[in-house]
A and B are shown apart, each in its own frame.
Chain A
């Protein structure tokens, strides 16, 4: 365990479903991130939360909706997804204002059918 826990590990959902991905960290970090990893593409940054405020939204479709209720928890709400949204979704956290690396969770493997 890295200190960043993602649930569920695997998720299969239909295009009309609504589901949520959860990320939790107890490292005392004050920034959290959602990344999408598709086959043969670089990791794509989706959202950044710094001190619980969203500071980045990289032109992500509105069918992805993030939520950060406190510094330890991050959610990604999913609705009416497309098959091309199938990917590994990775959550990470970091400590701002310092040269520290990111700590990643193990990811949620999402399949949209």
Chain B
């Protein structure tokens, strides 16, 4: 399975601190994506990194990808209480498969 596995399962930090979440996967990928989900709602696409990219930035988000280790990290800098949510990584496999496979997610709590 190419399912992503996020680490840690839960993370609690203070506002202003940085939050780092990690994701590992098992097979070759076309791209890796990070999503955010507020409680009981739909997922929101945050950022996509292609297999030939190593780092990508979007606002306070920084994503890295290490295909040799089959791992990715999501860094949220200067966190805010509004960043409290669950964060999921998802992988799109190679070979024309369009489906995304999601991990179980990291539940981030940012305390004011």
Contact = CB atoms under 8 A, between A and B. Distances in A.
Q: Is chain A's interface secondary structure helix, strand, loop, or mixed overall? A: strand
B75 interface: no
B60 interface: no
B98 A94 contact: yes
Contacts, number: 59
Contacts of A33: 99
Interface string B71-107: 0000000000000000010000000001111111100
Interface residues of A, number: 30
Q: Is chain B's interface secondary structure helix, strand, loop, or mixed overall? A: strand
Contacts of B43: 43, 90, 92, 102, 104
Interface string A77-113: 0000000000010101010100111111111010000
